[in-house]
């Protein structure tokens, strides 16, 4: 399906959904990757999940191979050169997808932006800058992109925006320490991400899925904070 420049798939748990979750996949995957998680969340309310497919582009760290990617990855070195133009372009595309969800009748405050790995990085980037405050951000096994722009670009009015961050202790793709640095950068910028770590690699685990479900169900009255 598409009514924006991004192709996407939709999974709806019941009629008349009260929440829309836009979920961004990781490098080389597509929108189908996280669809199987929806029934595992066992949400007690009707929800609409939108899983967009990233555009096809060459990825530098993979020898220029063309694959689905939200932006190019030039290096895995922390503090290395980043594809700012790609990040901003995909942010604009996903923002238009969120706009389309708003046009369907969802208030921004009832839209959650989620993502894994590269998709999680983009979710953080866009969610903190979107023109309206969203219901929350889920950032899994990822990092904060363009961190040097965070303080000047992120909307300080979103300080209470719920942010769920999670990472695997044994992640050998994006080191947990890199993710923790991003968490600390968010805190320094005035946000209060809720932090979770799991005994896993670069992926997801049942406990994480359960924690995401609990977090989604508690958004109305949940308080944010960093936890270990």
Q: Check residue 19 and give its pLDDT.
A: 97
pLDDT per residue over 163-219, tens digit each? 999 999 999 999 999 999 999 999 999 999 999 999 999 999 999 999 999 999 998
Any domain includes 228: no
* Residue 32 falls in the annotated catalytic set: no
Any domain includes 227: no
Least confident among 105-114, 133-142, 219-228:
219-228
Cα(96)–Cα(115) distance, rounded to whole angstroms? Answer: 16
Domain hosting residue 38, numbered range: 8-217
| CATH code of 184's domain | 3.40.50.1820
Any domain includes 141: yes
Any domain includes 3: no
pLDDT over 80 at 76, yes or no: no
Q: Check residue 224 and give its pLDDT.
A: 35
Q: Residues 30, 33, 83, 171: which is the catalytic one?
A: 171
Any domain includes 223: no
- Per the structure, the count of domains in the chain is 1
Any domain includes 222: no
Question: 203, 223, 205: which is closest to 215 by C-alpha?
Answer: 223
Sorted by sequence, the CB contacts under 8 Å of residue 92 that are 6+ apart come out as none
Any domain includes 84: yes
- Model pTM score: 0.94
Q: Check residue 220 and give its pLDDT.
A: 63
pLDDT over 60 at 221, yes or no: no
* Residue 125 falls in the annotated catalytic set: no
Computed from CA positions of residues 199, 185, 33, 214, in that sequence, does the dihedral angle turn out positive or negative? positive
pLDDT per residue over 39-54, tens digit each? 999 999 999 999 999 9
- Hey, how many other C-beta atoms are within 10 angstroms of the C-beta on 137? 26
Percent of the chain with pLDDT over 70: 94
pLDDT per residue over 1-50, tens digit each? 545 689 999 999 999 999 999 999 999 999 999 999 999 999 999 999 99
* pLDDT band at 228; cut points 50, 70, 90: very low
Task: Report the pLDDT averaged over residues 128-135.
Answer: 98
Q: Check residue 3 and give its pLDDT.
A: 53
Q: Check residue 80 and give its pLDDT.
A: 85
Any domain includes 19: yes
**3-state SS string over 97-144?**
HHHHHHHCCCCHHHEEEEEECHHHHHHHHHHCCCCCCCCEEEEECCCC
Q: Residues 20, 90, 93, 117: which is the catalytic one?
A: 117
Q: Residues 99, 202, 211, 213: which is the catalytic one?
A: 202
């Amino acid at each position: 399906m598409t009514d924006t420049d991004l192709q996407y798939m939709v999974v709806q748990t019941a009629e008349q959904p009260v929440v829309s979750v836009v979920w961004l996949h990781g490098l080389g995957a597509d929108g189908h990757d996280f669809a199987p998680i929806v029934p595992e969340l066992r949400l007690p309310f009707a929800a609409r999940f939108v899983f967009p497919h990233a555009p096809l582009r060459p990825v530098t760290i993979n020898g220029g191979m063309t694959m689905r990617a939200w932006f190019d990855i030039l290096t895995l070195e922390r503090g290395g050169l980043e594809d700012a133009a790609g990040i901003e372009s995909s942010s604009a595309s996903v923002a238009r997808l969120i706009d389309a969800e708003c046009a369907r009748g969802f208030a921004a405050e009832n839209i959650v932006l989620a993502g894994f790995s590269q998709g999680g990085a983009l979710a953080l980037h866009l969610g903190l800058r979107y023109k309206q405050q969203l219901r929350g951000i889920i950032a899994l096994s990822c990092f904060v992109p363009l961190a040097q722009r965070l303080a000047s670009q992120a909307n300080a009015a979103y300080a209470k925006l719920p942010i769920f961050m999670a990472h695997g202790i044994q992640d050998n793709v994006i080191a947990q320490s890199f993710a923790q640095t991003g968490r600390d950068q968010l805190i320094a910028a005035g946000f209060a991400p809720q932090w979770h770590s799991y005994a896993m690699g670069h992926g997801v685990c049942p406990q994480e899925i359960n924690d995401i479900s609990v977090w989604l169900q508690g958004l109305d009255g949940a308080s944010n904070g960093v936890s270990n």
